[in-house]
Amino acid sequence: MTNSTKNEALRHEPGPGYPQAVKSPQRDDLFSQIEQLKREKNAVILAHYYQDPDIQDVADFVGDSLELARAAQRSTADLIVFAGVHFMAEGAKILNPARKVVLPDLRAGCSLANSCPPDAFAALRAKHPEHFVVSYINCSAAIKAQSNVICTSSNAVKIIESIPADRPILFAPDRNLGAWLEKKTGRKMLLWQGACIVHETFSERKIAALQVEHPEAELIAHPECEASLLAKAQFIGSTSALLKHVIESPKKTFIVATEEGILHQMRKQAPNKELIPAPPNQNCACNECPYMKLNTLEKLHAALRDETPEITMTEELRLSAEAPLLKMLEWSTQIGKNA
């Protein structure tokens, strides 16, 4: 079953115990208009796991950053509607210069990408010219263009392990993923001090209380979380790896420390598992990415209909950013199926 067929099937079969989406004639109408526009325009909708359930359900492909980059690379659609954040849509454009790429809300940025301004990064690189630069995909095209290779949370360990042991590494922009990679690979790296506001929001005190209440629960976490939380997690992985783990693990209950949009696919694909979103520090919805959530079904429909707002960049920047991205996809394929 292709991912597109699988999503089509899942759309209408949420599984027992999964709360039904609030249905309204307007919502159903938007779904059918989106389907029709997709056919008319030979368009494809790619969505990240952190998008709203409705957006995930209308998408042709839902995945983590690596899977989405690969889906964008092999796409033959004339129009790519990228339901995710700016750096992801930019990645799709870098890999698909001849296709139009639109993002439902152009303001959908990323705190991690924003934490690494190109000029300041160039200055750090200039001080360490001998370093091999590995950038996490959550960065702008201008940072990708200054990198030797890109990685995602799915392939980061293997990418770092592929770099000759005597070569010093500069890793940007996520200090938490960087510190976790140092621990996993034993490689000391120079780390850019960026972070994701969502993954640094979890309350270890509240998680500890949940673990007392649910002693059978397994704590699973994304590597963008802080080291002290990761030290307590029983499983660490990218969004796709967390989803796969919940589906395949014999355990029944999970405390999930990542953006809570992923729970939608977990509930659909593992309807008999109990899923507890890790609580944020404040009494807020801070475990929801405010950037991802700027995209809505209505904005997605408008972006598909009007083919705007479009992602554009100069060809010079695109070519410089493409090389390390292609290197990642190439290395990733060589390293193995899951990297």
Residue 30 or residue 191: which is nearer to ligand SF4 going by CB?
191
Among 56, 65, 147, 176, binds ligand 13P (CB under 6 A): 65
| Nearest distance, CB of residue 105 and ligand SF4, angstroms | 13
Token duo for residue 144: 């990708």
Using CB under 6 A as the binding rule, whether residue 239 contacts ligand 13P is answered as yes
Choose the one of ligand 13P, ligand SF4, none that binds residue 111, judging by a C-beta under 5 to 8 angstroms depending on kind: ligand SF4
15 Rama class: left (phi>0) / alpha (psi -120 to 50) / beta: left
Q: Considering only residues 127 through 146, tell me which ones interact with ligand 13P, judged by CB under 6 A.
A: 138
Binding status of residue 197 toward ligand SF4 by CB under 6 A: yes
* Closer of 52 and 64 to ligand 13P (Cβ): 64
Size of site (CB under 6 A) for ligand SF4: 14
Helix, strand, or coil (residue 313): coil
Strands 100-102 and 79-83: parallel
Q: Any contact of residue 112 with ligand SF4 (CB under 6 A)?
A: yes
Site string for ligand 13P, 179-218 (x = CB under 6 A): -----------------x----------------------
CB-wise, 196 or 257, nearer to ligand SF4? 196
| Contact predicate 200/150, CB 8 Å | no
DSSP 174: B
Query: Taking CB under 6 A as the rule, which mask of x and - marks residues 127-166 in contact with ligand SF4?
Result: -----------x----------------------------
Binding partner of 239, given ligand SF4, ligand 13P, none, CB within 5-8 angstroms per partner class: ligand 13P
Identity of the residue, 86 or 318, whose beta carbon is nearer to ligand SF4 in the bound complex:
86
**Residue located via tokens 């598992």:** 273
Q: Are 147 and 328 in contact (CB under 8 A)?
A: no
**How many degrees, rounded to 5, is the angle at CA 51 between CA 34 and CA 220?**
150
CA-atom Rg of the chain in angstroms: 20
Total Cβ atoms within 10 A of residue 280: 18
- Site map 226..245 versus ligand SF4, x via CB under 6 A: --------------------
Stretch that binds ligand SF4, among 104-112, 150-158, 182-190, 230-238 (CB under 6 A): 104-112
The nearest distance, CB 180 to ligand SF4, in angstroms, is 14
Of positions 77, 139, 149, 196, contacts ligand SF4 by CB under 6 A: 196
Task: Give the range of 8-16, 120-128, 196-204, 267-275 binding ligand SF4 by CB under 6 A.
Answer: 196-204
Q: Which of 186, 151, 82, 76 is nearest to 329 (CA)?
A: 151
3-state helix, strand, coil in the chain (%, to 5): 45, 15, 40
CB of 172 to ligand 13P, least distance (A): 15
Please tell me the number of Cα atoms within 13 Å of 67 on its side-chain side. 17
For the beta sheet containing 274-277, the strands, ordered from the edge strand earlier in sequence to the opposite edge, are 235-236, 218-221, 253-257, 274-277
Nearest to 157 by CA among 192, 131, 190, 187: 187
CA distances 118 to 121, 222, 239, 314, Å, are 5, 26, 27, 16
Please, what is the minimum distance in Å from the beta carbon of residue 241 to ligand 13P?
8
Q: Count the residues in the chain.
A: 339
**Which two structure tokens, joined as six digits, stand for 320?**
């410089």
Greatest extent of the chain over all pairs of C-alpha atoms, in Å: 62
The least CB distance from residue 108 to ligand 13P, in Å, is 10
Q: What is the contact surface with ligand SF4 in residues (CB under 6 A)?
A: 50, 85, 110-112, 138, 196-198, 224, 259, 289, 291-292
Q: What is the contact surface with ligand 13P in residues (CB under 6 A)?
A: 64-65, 138, 152-154, 196, 222, 224, 238-239
